[in-house]
């Protein structure tokens, strides 16, 4: 009986360790996914970190690039602070711009109170933890090397982008993705150098993700959602985010701990590349939560239209 009891405790301890490791992996992936959202609010220096070797607009497939490199809102026009421009919904009543000829729709944010608190929590984590670490990383790793690292991880995301392009019937875009992958993996030394762009004049197409695929098939966006340690989503894009992780074969081929380290390096490198990109956003924005929310919907609308 005593031997059975000891064996049971041993198995229970192994199960606990396994659960803790798995939970830690998910948590670190989530924490390291959020930085680009809050890099928009940092105000140090100018945008000199992104080098020609990096992919155009780092990590467009992350759904987090709501502003362009100058710090302005992404989209056809700047978004008025009182207007909420989104992908889906009914025409807005709260703000009518007589000079805006494009469609305007209502932001679906029934959980605004919860979302705004989570946004502030995530922003504080980034400001007091991730940003200082990224500054140290930036001081050690030269910008050119950061650009090459970003190229490698962009190249590793090929399968996910390819599958989503095929799911959406964008076969020309799938062909370009395949061409770039073959060139950059071989001549570009496993993706370190974007030879396809600078030698073969083949630009990276806009990245496709599973959230966009769901939208193409008529799945509504659902409410806006902000969770601890995670980037902003809609419910549909949160499902898409999980789907993209599941579709990436790297997560099945590389063992757990090395994969964990790769994800941490990818996210920290991304945070460092965006360290000084969004100068002055925090000081010039009255409602930071509302600005990021509007930028998110504007960006997603553009991604789906493309």
Q: Contact, 257 vs 25, CB < 8 A?
A: no
Residue 282 confidence (pLDDT): 65
Cα separation, 185 vs 299, whole angstroms: 29
Which distant-in-sequence residues (6+ apart) come within 8 Å of 145 by Cβ? none
Name residue, tokens 């701990």. Answer: 257
DSSP 108-155: --TTHHHHHHHHHHHHHHIIIIIHHHHHHHHHHS-HHHHHHHHHHHHH
CB atoms within 10 A of CB 48: 10
**Token code pair at residue 306:** 């493309």
124 in the Ramachandran plot: left (φ > 0), alpha (ψ -120 to 50) or beta? Answer: alpha
Q: Contact, 111 vs 224, CB < 8 A?
A: yes
Cα separation, 129 vs 30, whole angstroms: 14
Residue 267 confidence (pLDDT): 85
pTM of the model as a whole = 0.67
Residue 297 confidence (pLDDT): 92
pLDDT tens for the 306 residues of the chain, in order: 555 445 544 544 544 544 444 444 444 444 444 444 444 334 333 333 334 444 433 333 333 334 444 444 444 444 333 334 343 433 333 344 444 444 454 578 999 999 999 999 999 998 899 889 999 999 999 999 999 999 999 999 999 999 999 999 999 999 999 999 999 999 999 999 999 999 999 999 999 999 999 999 999 999 999 999 888 999 999 999 999 999 999 888 888 888 888 888 888 888 888 877 655 566 667 788 998 999 899 999 999 988
């Amino acid at each position: 009986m005593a031997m059975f009891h000891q064996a049971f405790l041993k198995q229970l301890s192994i199960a606990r360790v396994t659960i803790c490791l798995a939970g830690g992996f998910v948590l670190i992936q989530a924490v390291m996914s959020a930085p680009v959202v809050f890099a928009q609010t940092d105000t140090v220096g100018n945008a000199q970190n992104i080098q020609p070797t990096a992919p155009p607009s780092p990590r467009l497939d992350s759904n987090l690039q709501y502003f362009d490199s100058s710090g302005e809102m992404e989209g056809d026009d700047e978004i008025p602070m009182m207007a909420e421009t989104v992908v889906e919904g009914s025409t807005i009543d709260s703000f009518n711009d007589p000079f805006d000829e494009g469609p305007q729709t209502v932001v679906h944010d029934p959980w605004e109170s919860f979302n705004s608190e989570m946004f502030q929590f995530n922003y504080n984590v980034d400001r007091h933890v991730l940003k200082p670490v990224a500054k140290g990383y930036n001081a050690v790793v030269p910008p050119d090397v950061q650009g090459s690292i970003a190229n490698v991880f962009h190249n590793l995301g090929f399968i996910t982008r390819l599958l989503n392009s095929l799911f959406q019937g964008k076969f020309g875009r799938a062909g370009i993705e395949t061409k770039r992958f073959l060139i950059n993996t071989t001549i570009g030394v496993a993706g370190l150098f974007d030879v396809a762009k600078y030698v073969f004049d083949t630009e990276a197409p806009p990245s496709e993700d599973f959230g966009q695929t769901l939208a193409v098939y008529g799945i509504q966006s659902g409410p806006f959602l902000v969770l601890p340690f995670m980037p902003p989503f809609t419910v549909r894009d949160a499902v898409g985010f999980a789907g993209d992780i599941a579709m990436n074969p790297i997560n099945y081929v590389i063992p757990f701990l090395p994969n964990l380290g790769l994800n941490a390096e990818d996210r920290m490198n991304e945070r460092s590349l965006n360290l000084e990109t969004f100068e002055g956003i925090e000081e010039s924005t009255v409602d930071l939560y509302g600005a990021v929310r509007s930028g998110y919907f504007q960006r997603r609308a553009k991604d789906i239209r493309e």
